[in-house]
Structure 1
Amino acid sequence: MSNEIKIALLAIVAIVLSIWGIKFIKGKNILTRSNLYYVEYEDALSIQTSSAVVIQGVSVGFVSGVKLLEGADKVLVTLDLNKDLQIPKGTRAEIFANGFMGTKNIRLHFPPVDQRQEMLKSGSYLIPGSVGFLGANIPQEELKQYMKIIQEGLKGVIDTLNSSLTDNNNPNSPVKKSLKNLELTLANLQSATAAADRMLASSSGNINGSLKNLNEITQSLASSKAKIGNIIDNADKFSGQLNQMDLKKTMTEVDQTIAGLKNTLGKADQALNSVGGLVTDMQAGKGTLGRLLKSDSLYNEISKFSNSADSLSKDLKKRPYRYIPLKGRKRVLRYDKQDAVKQ
């Protein structure tokens, strides 16, 4: 056998085991044969698939499907029961709570033995029903005994209470004291209501007068409603005009400020244009400053003149007798010789 055939067989076995496992987890053993029965409930009471179906505490199947019928007025529950189980006609499928946790199962309740005349076939419908927690977990006979015990206990309590109320030989009983206090409280309440009634009766004139005055005030306000409305309208108009006046004044001042700013900017623009023209002329060599910037010979002459003036100024400070008073050429040369000898 090739490896491919072995892998295919292994895959088939794995798929079959997976399907069987899923069905088994849901409560259905595909290896056993079973019959299907149906029940229509008004309310399924949160019954779920895989919930157990029991008879006298013995599991005989499970719930294989819960479906809401069209129109949402009933719920169809499918029961998967053992193949060899005989279901007589008239069987009730009762939903009950299996414990305090609220897990719901279905219990099959067969009719009495003498009434089991016909057995239902697979696919038949059972009679729906439901029971409470006590009815499902406590037998009927025990429940009746518990109820009987409770009734006897309540009867004793009621008899004791009745004897306490009707026994005149025991005036200090707690029940009688409570009733006496209640009687005094009601009497005090009646007295207080009577006093309040008298007080209201004596003050009815003042209350009526106050209500009359209040009515007159409201009528005066109603008659003056139009005047009050005019006053409010005038106040509203005045406030609107005042706001408009302030707004107009503010806008006028803003306009004047903007106009002055425009004038200043215009003058500044003209001054900048003049400065720009002057700079342009200087760069072109026009005017004294322009020639000074563009002509090297003029700069050299001015530099020579400056140096000569500086030398003359220094010599004038050093030897003023050569110039004041002005001497002749020969005399100046003679002074120069004398100065040379001194050095």
Structure 2
Amino acid sequence: MNISKEVKTAILVILGIIFLYFGINYLKGQNVLDASNTFYTEFDYNALTTSSPVTIKGNNVGKIKEIKYDFETGKTRVAFTVDNKLKFSKNSKIRLYELGLMGGNGMAIIPAQDEQLAQSGDVLESEVEEGLIKSLTSNFSGLSTGLDSTLKSADSLLININDLVEDDTKAGLKHAIKELNGTITSFNTLSLSLNQLISKNDESLTAVITNFNTISKDLAVLSNDLKNVEVSKTVANLDTTLNNLNGILAGLDQGEGSLGKLLKDEKLYDNLEVASMQLKELLQDVKLNPKRYINVSVFGGKNKEDYVKPENERQ
């Protein structure tokens, strides 16, 4: 079955519109496939947010969909949704109540005892919990009381300032001005002394600054040199050298090479020890019996003393 390009284009356009509709509603936080009914109510002022719960007998059964101010009636119009499985009377009231320690407010459905069921789109009568009204009233009264005390404190402060300025003696104010003048004079003297110190040591300060510039340039050159050093290559060479050294030490430990055999061959050690003892005995014998080894005779005499081999070669 061949489908024309026009039909394919129409199908793609329809699917695009459907996806766009669902996407826009999803971004608004609305589920198009959600089976719920929408109801409306009005309050004299707004004390709700879109996250405020909608409950019935303490159970969360819905959410606030929209909060809008009605310019004609001067009231806040609230749209909320509840699960379509919930059935309640059209004469039920929507009560605005305080959530308690958690803060904020919520709406509770107070069902009426009749069989006239509410339909989606109905406007339900509202009421405000009595404690919430008292709380708001006390907050405004507390704000008024605090503002009144603040104004009284400010007025007392201004009166005290006026009393200080209009003091009959005026000695305190004059003394304060005199002290202020003295402070300014001392500051001027200090500033003059500092200028003189700088002028006297101008050459030294210039030399210090020049030396500092030279040092900073040298540090800059040093930093550039360090930057150009191939640190990675140096580290690699050092690592190679250490590996070679480890290989040499491992060979010595296993008795490889002359030095390894010297370290590991106990027989060679014993032979060297015997040779050392024999050399010691030879030197001692040469010292004690030099005629045995150096024969100086005018008449060709012969030393008849023979070498006696010790019983133990190590002695």
Quickly name the TM-score band, shorter chain normalised.
Answer: 0.3 to 0.5
Q: Which has the larger radius of gyration?
A: 1
The TM-score normalised by the length of structure 2 is 0.33
The TM-score normalised by the length of structure 1 is 0.31
Flag the structure with higher helix content: 1
